[in-house]
Copies of this chain bind each other. A is one copy, B any other.
Amino acid sequence: MRQAHAILTFQTDGQGLLDVTPDIHSWLRACDIQMGTVTLFCQHTSASLLINENAAPAVRRDILRWLDMAAPEGDYYEHDSEGSDDMPAHIKSMLTGNSLTVPFADGKMLLGTWQGVYLAEHRADAHRRYVVCHAMGD
C-alpha cells in the first residue's frame, strides 16, 4: 500500500459548478497507484465539492437556483461584513460538503455513467480555490 497527495489549484469564474473530474483523473494517473481510494478535500468555507449529473447543463443551473432559494441573500444574517453573498456561501458549502472519498481503479474514479465531480464556487466573484487530493492503495 502506498499513498500520494497534492494540492490542486482551480480558478473559478464566480458562482458556478466547475467540472474537476478530468483534473483529478490526470493527477490519479500520474500517481501510479492502480487501485484504492482518493479523498478530495476543499480547503474553503464558501466553496465546496459535490457530485452531480454531468450531462444536461440545465441540471447544474437548477442546482444553483435551488441553492440560491434555500440560502438567499438578504438581511437575515448577523454576519454581513464580508458581503451579502458570504453567509449564503457558508451555508451552501455546509450543505454540499468539503470532503469526498471515491474508490478508483486504473487511474479512474469508479463514478457512475452520469456522475461528475464539481467544485462549487458559492461566492459571486472569481476566486482561486485549493483542493487537497490524497490517494491510497496499491
- Number of identical protomers: 3
Q: Is A100 an interface residue (CB 8 A)?
A: yes
Q: Is A66 an interface residue (CB 8 A)?
A: yes
Chain A contacts with B in 83-127, Cβ cutoff 8 A: 87, 90-91, 93-103, 105, 110-115
Most chain B beta-carbon contacts within 10 A, residue among A2, A87, A94: A94
Question: Do A43 and B111 touch across chains, with their CB atoms under 8 A apart?
Answer: yes
Contacts of A115 in B (CB 8 A): 43-45, 98
> What is the interface size of chain A, counting residues whose CB is below 8 A from a CB of the partner?
59
Question: Do A3 and B1 touch across chains, with their CB atoms under 8 A apart?
Answer: yes
Question: Do A93 and B52 touch across chains, with their CB atoms under 8 A apart?
Answer: yes
Question: Do B77 and A62 touch across chains, with their CB atoms under 8 A apart?
Answer: yes
Question: Do A136 and B93 touch across chains, with their CB atoms under 8 A apart?
Answer: no
**CB pairs A–B below 8 angstroms (13 shown):** A1-B2, A3-B137, A36-B136, A41-B103, A43-B111, A45-B51, A45-B53, A53-B90, A61-B79, A66-B91, A98-B115, A103-B132, A136-B136
